[in-house]
Amino acid sequence: MTTYSLSALRAVALRTQALHTANGSEPPAKPENIFQVVDQIGCVQIDTLHMVRRSHYLVPWSRMGNYNPADFDGLMFGPRPQLFEGWEHAASIIPLAEYRFQKPHQRNLREHPTNWFNRWLNDQVKKDFVPLVMERVRNEGGAEGKQIRVRGTPGGQLVELASGQGGAGVFIFPRRTHDRRPRKIPASLRSYQAGAAKMGEYQRAKC
């Protein structure tokens, strides 16, 4: 059997990661090329550390050089979303075409909740809390989590949790925080929903 050289192994490891292109020869910094990078490498990890730009913005920069981070956001929250936030290598941004691979875990959280949070969430579903929040968001569009009050309780955080269980569709939060306060729902959610609505399956709250 051939033993491949170290330089050949490194070249393949870098090229499959889109890290081989000479500086100055990158594809133009257009949204479709940002998507192409994420699609090629599968997903990018989300993390809260932000000494510089957050990691999920750095990963495409490493591969294509300067680009407009708003274009990256547009791929998630724009009128025709191609990426969503889910779970792959920890919390990650993933091509929408691979959404179905989230479903087994979501089902598991719904049917076999192992922590108080998911049990509590299931209770809220039974009380129609989640569907009511979803209806509010659908009818009135994006709002801050604390503004969405159902029976006196802020609903924003619940929407994100419901999203983890697969009930809230494919909602994504551009400025993710790991605190316990209600999360912001982006103003662009309205247009995001228009895109999500095309996938009829996801527009229904079906916890």
* Residue type for position 51: M
Stretch of 89-97, 134-142, 155-163, 175-183 contacting other proteins, by CB under 8 A? 89-97
96 lies in the site for other proteins, by CB under 8 A: yes
User: In sequence order, which residues have a C-beta less than 8 Å from that of residue 98 and are 6 or more positions away?
Assistant: none
Measured from the CB atom, the residue of 139 and 179 that comes closer to other proteins is 179
20 lies in the site for other proteins, by CB under 8 A: yes
DSSP run (H or E) holding 130:
helix 129-140
Length of the chain measured in residues:
207
Quick one: tokens of 10? 């490194």
CB of 176 to other proteins, least distance (A): 14
Stretch of 97-105, 124-132, 156-164, 174-182 contacting other proteins, by CB under 8 A? 97-105
| Residues 99-138 as x/- pattern, contact with other proteins by CB under 8 A | xxx-xx--x-------------------------------
Strands 83-88 and 44-45: unpaired
Q: Which sign does the torsion angle of CA 105, 175, 54, 35 carry?
A: positive
201 lies in the site for other proteins, by CB under 8 A: yes
Is residue 164 within 8 A of residue 123, CB to CB? The reply is no
Report d(CA 2, CA 203) in Å as an integer: 53
* Residue type for position 123: D
5 lies in the site for other proteins, by CB under 8 A: yes
Q: Which of 27, 33, 88, 195 binds other proteins (CB under 8 A)?
A: 88
Stretch of 44-52, 120-128, 149-157, 185-193 contacting other proteins, by CB under 8 A? 44-52
